[in-house]
Amino acid sequence: MLKIYDIETARKTILFRSPLSAMTFTAKVLERTTQLFGAGVTPQKAVARILASVQVDGNAALRYWSELLDRTAPAEFRVPLEEMEKAFRSLPADLLAAMRIAAGRIRRFHEFQPLPNWETSSMGGRLGQRVTAIQRVGVYVPGGTAPLPSSLLMSVIPAQVAGVPKIIVCTPPNPHPSILAAAYLCGIEQVFQIGGAQAIAALAFGTESIPKVDKIVGPGSLFVTLAKQQVYGIVGLDGLAGPTETLVVADLNANPSWVAADLLAQAEHDILASAILMTPERSLAEAVQLEVRCQMEDLSRGEIIAQSLDDHSGIVITPDLETACALASDYAAEHTCLAVTNPEKMAALIPNAGGLFLGEYSFEVLGDYVAGPSHIMPTGGTSRFASPLNVMDFVKISSIIALDKKTGQELSQVASTLAHIEGLSAHAAAADFRTKTTSLKK
């Protein structure tokens, strides 16, 4: 049941966020971890064990963990290109058409993002920046309880637009044909059927079959997230994905059936997903409650939805829309949807959001599939400082420093002064040499 909360109760329950370091695990996760790894082994320690073994034993470790955790180990990790093409050709015409439209819109959106190289001569000589693509990127595509070809499109296409020359995809064994078809549609040639923490290990360290990459992107399970956390620094990351979340701000003119449908769409992702409505209108809140109850009866993932709604979701009654927007910004949701009469005005009051969905025809499900921006967005309140996956995630900036002699000598005196105050005499000496009119040459 979708419960109704006052603000203070909501702050202590559905709006309360724990840091990743204080992550708690369900009894089911702890039970399975003990069953597979032994008593006293936490999920973090289990992941560390997987990473270490893959780093040392490569493919042999991948096969061991795949058999233990996924109950299957393919003869070959790499999916043949012919199998990907076969999956692509087997798609129903309407699904193929939908996938093409989504891919086209995702590509077009990201092509608008500027990647400027620039230089200036106004500061003595030349200063500037050079933008270059990351050379090797690993994309993780979850298998889990539902295939997610959309996640492949949302990860791979921005990387391609950025100019990444080598993109490697990992996805759990026996991948769904739609995932292989999406990879084929994007022109990806290296897809490996390996999942979980062992896939992250393979991408971070490399094995006999799977090349080491420079950065890993894409959402995944708890073990995938813990593995990404532990390999950070060995490789770059897009972020650490927590449970997905949607927050809807609605006024009296919102359609309760649509609001309910949007909340249910979020809740069906995962039992840990959050679907929250904020509104000053109790009549709307009660109408949405009723709609949720009625619509749930016809949905295939009802048990998942019910637990998500009971444990992590709800409706918050606020005194006005402005308060709702302030709370929404404090919560900093992955998806913030504005089902209000003047969404532009309300959006200006919400600086923190992974994605802002303005108006009831710009609903979050469109963002999941086909609107254009990547649906891989910051979760857990990290939209306070992080951004959705975008082209900039796949490039790096090099500073260009080419000062002329006059500027170099003038700045050397400044650098020497600063180096002395820091007690770095070798720094100061390197600068002082440049201030001399003559230099020692052999």
Q: How far apart are CA 200 and CA 227, in angstroms?
A: 6
Residues 128 and 135: their CA atoms lie apart, in Å, by: 22
Residue 126 to residue 162: CA distance in whole angstroms:
25
Quickly list DSSP for 199-230.
HHHHHHH--SSS---SEEE----HHHHHHHHH
Residue 383 near residue 353, CB atoms below 8 Å: yes
Handedness of CA 142, 169, 394, 152 (dihedral sign): negative
8: which 2 tokens? 């203070």
* Interatomic CA distance for residues 236 and 215, integer angstroms: 4
DSSP 370: T
- CA-CA distance, 319 to 321, in Å (whole number)? 7
Distance CA 336, CA 379 (A): 11
Structure tokens at 348: 């200006």
Is beta strand 274-279 parallel, antiparallel or unpaired with respect to 314-317?
A: parallel
> What are the tokens at 303?
């048990």
CB contact at 8 A, 161 and 110? yes
As given in the structure block, the two tokens for residue 4 are 């109704």
DSSP string, 226-275: HHHHHHBTTBEES----S-EEEEEE-TTS-HHHHHHHHHHHHTT-TT-EE
Out of 268, 334, 360, 364, which one is annotated catalytic?
334
The answer to whether residues 143 and 195 touch, using CB atoms and an 8 Å cutoff, is: yes
Q: Is 334 one of the catalytic residues?
A: yes
* Active-site residue (options: 269, 312, 335, 375): 335
Q: Indicate the SS3 state at residue 170.
A: strand
- Which secondary-structure segment (H or E) carries 290? helix 282-296
d(C-alpha 223, C-alpha 21), whole Å:
14
269 is catalytic: no
Strands 236-237 and 215-217: parallel
Q: Indicate which residues carry an active-site annotation.
A: 334-335
